[in-house]
Amino acid sequence: MNTRKIRPIYYPLTVPHPERLRKWSCKIDYRSAEVIAAGEVSATRYRLPAPVPGAAGRRLAFVSDFHYRGHPKDRKLADLAVERIRAFSPDFLCFGGDLTSDAAELDTQPELLEKFRDCAPVRFAVPGNWERGKSWLPVSFWEELYAEAGIRFLCNAGAEADCFYFHGADDLAGGDPRLPESWPEERAPILLAHRPDTVIALDTCHALDPIALILCGHTHGGQVRFPFLGPVYASSQYGCKLDYGLFERRGGTPRMIVSSGVGNRSLSFRFNCRREVVLVEFA
């Protein structure tokens, strides 16, 4: 059976599926993640086996959930994220959604994106709930906003890049996430999805089997984490079970990384929960 051509059966995706969640297990949690640079914005590294021969040595950076409003602290955090990413010299840079917050701050978004112009030769982005929640703004608005900074916006769309195929799914709550009809045979698929709940919703009919890596944000790592207990809340239908870390689906693939992101929104602060950029090395 060629699982690369199996299309999932779509029905209301927002219905929780705890039976699918049980297929996933956390392999690297918050405490065991490799933090290679600590500070107001940390750098967390994951070393993964190359899914195809050409992927060995490739580097990918992932950053999410800025909730950028143009305040001095926002600028400082963005500059620190840029510093971490440039030091890593990635081949690819992916934005995981929730770039913005309130519509009143939309005019600050070009300022944020411009900071990342020279961080990687290939750059992609997907929508988060804060983008798709602004239902009066069409997808074309975000495509144009990102394009001005040389970033390709993927909303239920994909793009080939080197030996990879990047597909960006729409947000689960405000949009209508879809996977491609088929996956390219010669390239390793990478799925960008703002929230891990989207991944669980799409995990049917072997649809995720060909995917090498999934990158998510949204949970903020819980934003408030207590020593030895972890977070008491994460923005997910599954509580804190997908709050942070590297997860594997039964059988070893795909792998999913959930990042704590950079910014705040539900609360104006973090407690014992690092802000981070994610750095992935394929070996």
- Where residue 269 falls among pLDDT bands split at 50, 70, 90? confident
Render pLDDT for 195-211 as a digit per residue (tens, 0 to 9).
999 999 999 988 999 99
- Residue 21: domain span: 17-282
- Where residue 2 falls among pLDDT bands split at 50, 70, 90? low
Q: Quote the pLDDT of residue 265.
A: 77
Compute the distance between CA of residue 94 and CA of residue 73 in angstroms, rounded to an integer. Answer: 22
Residue 47 DSSP class:
E
11 occurs within a structural domain: no
1 occurs within a structural domain: no
HSE-CB of 122 using CA atoms within 13 angstroms: 13
Q: Cβ of 12: how many Cβ atoms within 10 Å?
A: 6
- Where residue 1 falls among pLDDT bands split at 50, 70, 90? very low
6 occurs within a structural domain: no
How big is the chain by its Cα radius of gyration, in Å? Answer: 17
Compute the distance between CA of residue 27 and CA of residue 45 in angstroms, rounded to an integer. Answer: 14
- Where residue 268 falls among pLDDT bands split at 50, 70, 90? confident
List of residues 6+ apart from 208 with CB closer than 8 A: 191, 199, 202, 214, 249, 254
CATH of the domain at 69: 3.60.21
235 occurs within a structural domain: yes
H and E: helices and strands count for the chain: 6, 16
169 occurs within a structural domain: yes
3 occurs within a structural domain: no
Q: How far is CA 217 from each of CA 186, 228, 235, 248, rounded to the nearest angstrom?
A: 28, 22, 10, 16
5 occurs within a structural domain: no
Domains identified in the chain, total number:
1
- Where residue 9 falls among pLDDT bands split at 50, 70, 90? low
Average pLDDT, the chain: 94
Give me the mean pLDDT over the 174-186 stretch.
Answer: 91
152-161: list long-range contacts, CB under 8 Å, 24+ apart. 152/123, 152/124, 152/125, 153/124, 153/125, 153/126, 153/127, 154/124, 154/125, 154/126, 154/192, 155/126, 155/127, 159/124, 160/184, 160/187, 161/92, 161/122, 161/124
Lowest pLDDT segment from 52-66, 112-126, 150-164, 266-280 = 266-280
Q: Cβ of 90: how many Cβ atoms within 10 Å?
A: 23
Of all residues in the chain, what percent carry a pLDDT higher than 90? Answer: 85
Lowest pLDDT segment from 5-9, 104-108, 141-145, 216-220 = 5-9
- Where residue 3 falls among pLDDT bands split at 50, 70, 90? low
114 occurs within a structural domain: yes
Compute the distance between CA of residue 125 and CA of residue 237 in angstroms, rounded to an integer. Answer: 24
Three-point CA angle 34, 35, 41, nearest 5°:
150
- Where residue 8 falls among pLDDT bands split at 50, 70, 90? low
Of all residues in the chain, what percent carry a pLDDT higher than 70? Answer: 97
- Where residue 267 falls among pLDDT bands split at 50, 70, 90? confident
Lowest pLDDT segment from 23-32, 144-153, 182-191 = 182-191
